């Protein structure tokens, strides 16, 4: 029989690092997909505020925003989880030996 284990605490620093790296990944994917949409569907349209597809500044801006946003959401999410898990219980997982 398998027993369920409960996660009561998550290390904020390790979660912050992973959140920051995932934020960078999401920023790069967003930049790439946004540029593909602009090139594929909006090329030739008369839209005055349309950003340049595949621009370097958009990539850097997205990476910085994704890094900072990912780090903050990872850290704050971890702190909130740890507070809530102490009061109402943590995530239950089933482990196989």
Could you identify the residue written with the tokens 């979660």?
15
Residues 6 or more apart in contact with residue 38 via CB below 8 angstroms? 50, 51, 53
pLDDT at 72: 95
pLDDT at 3: 79
Report, as ranges of residue numbers, the positions in the chain whose pLDDT lies below 70. 1, 50
pLDDT at 22: 94
Q: Number of C-alpha atoms within 13 angstroms, CB side, residue 95?
A: 8
CA dist 41 and 10 (Å) reads 43
pLDDT of 13-26, one tens digit each?
999 999 999 999 99
């Amino acid at each position: 029989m398998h027993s369920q284990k409960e996660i009561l605490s998550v290390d904020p620093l390790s979660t912050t690092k992973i959140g920051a790296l995932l934020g960078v990944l999401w920023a790069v994917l967003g930049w790439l997909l946004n540029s593909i949409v602009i090139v594929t569907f909006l090329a030739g349209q008369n839209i005055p505020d349309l950003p340049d597809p595949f621009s370097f500044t958009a990539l850097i801006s997205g990476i910085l925003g994704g890094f900072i946003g990912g780090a903050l959401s990872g850290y704050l999410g971890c702190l909130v989880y740890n507070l809530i898990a102490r009061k109402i219980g943590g995530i239950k997982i089933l482990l196989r030996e």
